[in-house]
Chains A and B, each alone.
Chain A
């Protein structure tokens, strides 16, 4: 199963929206919680509608709309999203109004928008797209589950262009709550120091990134997605290595064919060692890059990584802000993304130059 990445639309903590610029001016934060640079929504949404919508719904609609335009696709043959938490803001709003008003005087809007499939269904509603529509909600596998579905859909049906996205938002309340179970750093940290951090927790992030996966060749294509793998609670690092090698072998590749590896280094000292171990074993020869210092950590951050990998392959450049050590390759043909969320969900995505 393979597919071309035909179009991209991405709202993130970086200047990624509606542009083909590749991190020429990376934004450096000094924080423990990054937020998206939000688009002006009036271009994508009727203002009356936009006022009622939660932030993540708007980000999702804007990102998907730019993505389809970028791909030159009006009507996708499927809409598939992944989100760990869905629509936090609306869920919190409805929950708090229940608790604060003793279950009285409630209005339905935030409840109606609280379901996890709101973004994928609102995109369908905007486009009047009656095709296959799916939402995955499995923590650190949410986005990769959607990607895998996109590949399967192209392989098993006559679908030609599939819209696949990952989205999650952070709210102040969710930040505070998840900080209590050790997700985030206590201290603010400059983005470029995240990689050297020696403390527990990561810097929270959020984003909405959409991709058109297509089975048609075109000059527009960014890259070719050739494999996605998810490893749940591996027994040890060896299991991760074995599974990466197995995926590569399936594609007739070996670790030395991987020109660039993108690591999900989050600055959480508990979970980062595995990346360095891989860097110093299987992928010593490869150029190493990372992404969470620019996007923040969230369970669908793999979607930001996919954008970064696709841009490397398309532009054949590796911006200094994402490089670990030196760029060892003149030409980047194959990129492997290896990401883990809290050492429980390990994902491997493989991309090639078109």
Chain B
């Protein structure tokens, strides 16, 4: 069980780029991807900014070389783009060489298509090939689309624990390697924007009508986003001779058990998840060089998470930021996207700025990083993800020695 978990590949698509290269370029230029919504028809189009991937489904279909008539969801398309990049970056050419798995995660599956056809599904008079989409509604569908595209079949599964989904998929991947079920596994998540989600968050009244401001005293809510992020985890044996980005040294999962959608003010679940991750890694809070916070920009999350971090790190909170000002809150994909950013933080010794945080919260004793920093060695990164239902997860990424 003390086996090391190596990260050998990364792949990402979000509002700030279609791949790792473009993502790096955006963060270096401190360029946010949040803007006007184009690809979804909704009455809130001009009311709420989002972190949208600026490609239509048809463009993504073309990009991936599918035929134009292919029935595939946006969730699958985004997932394939990122997982494919991750697999290529890990230099995996033959998925059969080792026992290879795929664990993906998302929050609403193929909802972005279901919502367009739902009334037609219910009307037996309406006929057409749109009914093929019925089978693509559930959360497992995109995982299989990715697995089939990449030729992976030894172990596949899907997790949905709201906004902590893909952090949990990373954690599960590591455990599957440690339990000798797979030798390597592509882990992460994908989610696409949908009218369903937009309206859901509207009713909760936690969407900022401007750019989100995580950890700012005047924060008014989150911006929704979409995208996918995957990393490749390998056992020591499978990774032998490969370039290793870093290691996954810690992971923790706990439940806040406070409210269906709101975090407890003290962030109990967040605290426990981080504490477990530290125990797993054998590291101390003082070892962490950078925290990639969940930091959604909602009043409740940032206070709850901030309190939990403060309780754990006392008055020595390291560099900390939320990257949701760049990508928006990509829900089921955020743990995967932020894992890729955490890996890059170690590779390039980078700390991302917490965009739009002008007046730090008075309740907290730390001030988020405001400008891009590249002058500090980053050895250990803590990445948090919390979701509806109290699901709380924390991951620790460490430089490979």
**A residues at B contact (CB < 8 Å):** 1, 79, 84-86, 94-96, 98-99, 102-104, 106-108, 111-118, 120-122, 124-125, 127-139, 141-142, 145, 148-149, 152, 155-156, 173, 176-178, 180-181, 230, 232-233
Contact = CB atoms under 8 A, between A and B. Distances in A.
Interface string B123-166: 01000000110110011110110010000010111111110000
Given A125-B259, A133-B254, A181-B131, A86 B160 contact: yes
A180 B155 CA distance: 30
B257 A129 contact: yes
B194 to A, nearest CB: 10
Interface in B180-228: 181, 195-196, 199-200, 202-204
26 contacts: A94-B200, A95-B114, A99-B115, A99-B118, A103-B44, A103-B199, A111-B204, A112-B204, A112-B388, A113-B260, A114-B200, A115-B389, A116-B161, A117-B160, A117-B389, A122-B389, A124-B257, A124-B389, A125-B259, A129-B257, A130-B254, A134-B159, A137-B138, A156-B178, A181-B131, A181-B134
Nearest to A121: B389
A155 B268 CA distance: 26
Contacts of A233: 153
B122 interface: yes
Contact of A132 (B156, B253, B258): B253
Interface residues of B, number: 65
A139 B135 CA distance: 11
A121 B26 CA distance: 37
Given A103-B43, A139-B138, A232-B147, A121 B255 contact: yes
Of the candidates A98, A106, A141, A180, the one having the most CB atoms from chain B within 10 angstroms of its own CB is: A98
Contacts of B124: 176, 180
B196 A117 contact: no
Interface string B256-269: 11111100000011
A124 B255 contact: yes
B179 A125 contact: no
A104 to B, nearest CB: 8
Nearest to B200: A111
A211 B176 CA distance: 22
A79 B257 CA distance: 12
B272 interface: yes
B68 interface: no
B42 A103 contact: yes
Contacts of A118: 260, 388-389
B240 interface: no
B255 A177 contact: no
B119 interface: yes
Of the candidates B121, B141, B161, the one having the most CB atoms from chain A within 10 angstroms of its own CB is: B161
Contacts of A103: 42-44, 195, 199, 202
A84 B109 CA distance: 11
A142 B143 CA distance: 13
A21 B155 CA distance: 37
Nearest to A109: B203
A306 to B, nearest CB: 18
A134 B134 contact: no
